[in-house]
Amino acid sequence: MKYIIGVDIGTTSTKTILFDKDGKVIESSNDDYPLYQDSYGMAEEDPDEIFSAVMSGMSKVIRKSKINNEDLSGVSFSCAMHSLILLDKDFKPITRAITWADNRASKYAKEIKESDLGKKLYENTGTPIHPMTPLSKIVWLKNEKNDLYQQANWFVGIKEYIFYKLFGELKEDYSIANATGMFNIFNMDWDSQALKLTGISKSQLPELVDTTYQFHGIDTSYAKVIGIKENTPFVIGSSDGPLANLGVNAIDEGVLAVTIGTSGAVRVVTNKPTIDPKGRVFCYYLAKNKWVVGGPVNNGGIVFKWVRDQLCAPEKTIAEQMKINAYSVLSGIASRVPVGAKGLIFHPYLGGERAPIWDSDARGSFFGLTRNHTRADMIRAVLEGIIYNLYTVSLALEEVVGKPKAIQATGGFAKSALWRQILSDVFEQEVSIPENVQGTALGAATIGMYSLGMIDNLEQVKSLVGKVKSYEPNPQNYHVYRELVPIYIRLNRLLKPEYCNIAKFQRTHNNDE
């Protein structure tokens, strides 16, 4: 039997999964690391802590599975997008990894977005102008941390740093590069206008390679720690969003992938680069003739975590004492509340927002609150609000690529029957949930299998995904949501002018750390 490891480097943890050639999970590991938020807007990670998590995950799945390392065909990677690390001339980090969630470049992103150049950059790169992107971060560093900017010899992301440590080569796959805001999706090279804006040169960026590129000859000491042969091939892989589509078999045109993890996204695959005239959605590379068009949201499961920690501390404590999952308890409470949470609407913008409004100043709110509402209603409103937000992304996407013909959903939320039903009801479509919920890691493994010749094409992922469970929309429920969703959308437009003002107040008074 042949095996492959899929490594999914995420925002707060790395998931490492050993699959057999049929896509069955043999062994897995989840290794956490902290997110540093020492000041307002900061969201950084230590690149060496992430490297240690990657090493730990690979070594654990090899050791625990007890497979013969001769049977390991390779290792393939997925990685969160938009990270930025500055390296000196000796390839040593002079910053931590600045993640997608870091908002300190907001001022410069807004200036770029409102300029004529901003529109052109989006049209060239397919990446909306936002503080998440390395493009905006580099402009911010250039203006506000010029000492670090001047010291930097290289501008890379976390995946590139990890592969440099393992192999001594600085390469970047098209998909991760695409998400920097500095990659031209039409000539498949670093964009000259983006480079001019940031003030850096191509020689300060990694060499660009396809998502099927293989590394060979891992550092001997690392091979021993992991427990693999030195000639084991490592496939560079792609970014997490496109690979999530692949991992749930949402790679045919018109098949929508909805993912809710810490954050969330709505995406569909096209056969060529596709741009939104209104600039609301991204276009990222997956593989040859496969581009993923969609929108990411900041506020997915992380908002439910906020509910657990800030609104439901007693339930959390009881769940911990009884050794049961607190999220399951909260979902159970919400399931007893009428659809629509008795007219309580929640905008889930606790961390600003990306698609479809692309406003880092956006803030969360409850609307319609009365004395008759309870915490249970608030829990339900939060779960529904997260789905409403994803639905507004799908509406924008529909204008660009047409109405979806099917929905495949994945992510941590897929474990909740309530959330799955809300998704089907709000979208008014059947929702399929793959049995294998490790979509992104399976996507990484699949592109690795394709690169290594274990499968003939990416469409063979269908046989790897396994069984799916389907949820049908409930007419009684979606009629309620048809009334509430337009209110949600109109409210967002009315509140937008005040997001900037309240965010400015919070920054001034340091109340939003």
Residue 490 identity: R
Could you tell me if 77 and 215 are in contact, meaning their C-beta atoms sit under 8 angstroms apart? no
Angle between helices 313-322 and 326-335 (to 10 degrees): 120
Among residues 439, 461, 69, 49, the alpha carbon closest in space to that of 233 is found at: 69
If residue 358 lies in a helix (H) or strand (E), which one and from where to where? Answer: none
What are the residue ranges of helices labelled H in 145-300? 146-151, 158-167, 174-178, 192-198, 220-226, 240-247
- The mean of the pLDDT values for the chain is 95
Could you tell me if 431 and 470 are in contact, meaning their C-beta atoms sit under 8 angstroms apart? yes
d(CA 440, CA 100): 18
Residues of the chain scoring pLDDT < 70: 436-437, 511-513
In 3-state terms, what secondary structure has residue 76? strand
Q: What is the pTM of this model?
A: 0.92
- Which pLDDT does position 437 carry in this prediction? 67
d(CA 211, CA 206): 14
In 3-state terms, what secondary structure has residue 47? helix
- Which pLDDT does position 512 carry in this prediction? 45
Angle between helices 475-509 and 375-401 (to 10 degrees): 100
Give Cα 52 to chain centroid, integer Å. Answer: 21
Going by C-beta distance under 8 Å and a sequence separation of 6 or more, which residues neighbour residue 251?
245, 269, 286, 290, 458, 459, 461
